[in-house]
Amino acid sequence: MLTRIDHIGIACHDLDATVEFYRSTYGFEVFHSEVNEEQGVREAMLKINETSDGGASYLQLLEPTREDSAVGKWLAKNGEGVHHIAFGTADVDADSEDIRSKGVRVLYEEPRRGSMGSRITFLHPKDCHGVLTELVTSAPVESPEH
């Protein structure tokens, strides 16, 4: 069962400048940052709030580390902006199989590693009314890593 909006992914050309905008404009601070080589992105997670299921909601800022990454290709075609929405779930495996059984294309056969040690998969935007949708099972969060 989907429990919350885990994060909204925002593609950007300059991660540092975009982080500074969200910090100076809204007061959001970086909770976690990392480079995901597999996905070809440098990212920053800005924590917005805690949630009743023990998770949190974030903005995920994504800067491609290579032009041929999914985010790099998306940026070249669409420019900066909202890239995807992610819903939190306690069991990404079960929920992705349930959604697949309803005729929605799940982009990964098996969930992959996502931000902060989470497990993720994506749903095809053409099956989700034009919205690239991510399902996320968060790893236990002990403390922020920068």
Q: Which of 32, 39, 63, 134 is catalytic?
A: 134
Q: Which of 7, 39, 63, 83 is catalytic?
A: 7
Q: Which of 32, 39, 60, 83 is catalytic?
A: 60
Task: Verify whether residue 80 is a known catalytic residue.
Answer: no
Task: Verify whether residue 7 is a known catalytic residue.
Answer: yes
CA distances from 134 to 3, 28, 123, 137 (A): 13, 22, 6, 10
Task: Verify whether residue 142 is a known catalytic residue.
Answer: no
Task: For residue 116, give the nearest of 82, 132, 140 by alpha carbon.
Answer: 140
Q: Which of 32, 39, 63, 84 is catalytic?
A: 84
Task: Verify whether residue 60 is a known catalytic residue.
Answer: yes
What is the per-residue burial (b if ≥16 Cβ within 10 Å, else e) of 7-29? bbbbbbeebeebbeebeeeeebe
Q: Which of 32, 39, 43, 83 is catalytic?
A: 43
- The catalytic residues are 7, 43, 60, 84, 134
